[in-house]
Structure 1
Amino acid sequence: MPRKVYEFNNPRRFVAGTVGQPGDRTFYLQASDANRTVSVVLEKEHVQVLADRLEDIVDEVVRRGTVPPIESPQEDLDPLEMPVDEEFRVSALGLAWDDDLKAVVIEAVSGESGSLDEDQIFSDDDDAPDVLRVTIDAAAARAFAVRANAVVHAGRTPCPLCGIPLDPAGHICPRQNGYHRATLS
Structure 2
Amino acid sequence: MPTLVHAFDWPDRVVVGTVGMPGSRTFYLQAREGTRTAAVALEKEQSAVLAETIDRVLDELMDDSDNKWSVPADVPAELVDDDPLDLPVEEEFRTGSMRLTWDPRTAQVVVEAFPIVDVDDLDPDEEEPEPDEALLVRMPVGTARAFVQRTRAVVQSGRPQCPRCGRPIDPDGHECVLPDEE
Does residue 175 in structure 1 map to residue 167 in structure 2?
A: no
Mark the CA change 1:176 to 1:143 in structure 2 (over 3 Å): closer, same or farther: closer
SS at match of 2:136: strand
Does residue 8 in structure 1 map to residue 13 in structure 2?
A: no
TM, length-normalised to structure 2: 0.86
Q: Distance in 1 between matches of 2:165 and 2:153?
A: 22
SS at match of 2:178: helix
Cα offset, 1:62, TM superposition: 1.0
Match of 2:96 among 82, 91, 97: 91
Partner amino acid, structure 2, of 1:51? A
Map 1:96-175 onto structure 2 (within 5 A). Answer: 96-112=101-117, 114=121, 127-175=130-178
Kept in 1, the 8 Å contact 2:59–2:73? The answer is no
Partner amino acid, structure 2, of 1:81? D
Partner amino acid, structure 2, of 1:161? R
Moved more, 43-52 or 65-74: 65-74
Match of residue 181 from structure 1: none
Size of the aligned set, in residue pairs, is: 170
Q: Percent identity?
A: 42
Q: Distance in 2 between matches of 1:104 and 1:165?
A: 33
SS at match of 2:22: coil
Map 1:50-65 onto structure 2 (within 5 A). Answer: 50-65=50-65
Match of residue 21 from structure 2: 21
Q: Distance in 1 between matches of 2:144 and 2:72?
A: 10
Partner amino acid, structure 2, of 1:99? P
Q: Distance in 1 between matches of 2:91 and 2:132?
A: 15
Match of residue 39 from structure 2: 39
Kept in 2, the 8 Å contact 1:112–1:129? The answer is no
Cα offset, 1:69, TM superposition: 4.1
Match of 1:72 among 68, 71, 74: 74
In structure 1, the gaps of 5 or more residues are: 179-185
Kept in 2, the 8 Å contact 1:6–1:131? The answer is yes
Mark the CA change 1:176 to 1:35 in structure 2 (over 3 Å): closer, same or farther: closer
User: How big is the alpha-carbon RMSD for the aligned residues of Structure 1 and Structure 2?
Assistant: 2.1
Q: Distance in 2 between matches of 1:112 and 1:39?
A: 18
Kept in 1, the 8 Å contact 2:18–2:154? The answer is yes
TM, length-normalised to structure 1: 0.85
Q: Distance in 1 between matches of 2:25 and 2:71?
A: 34
Kept in 2, the 8 Å contact 1:111–1:129? The answer is no
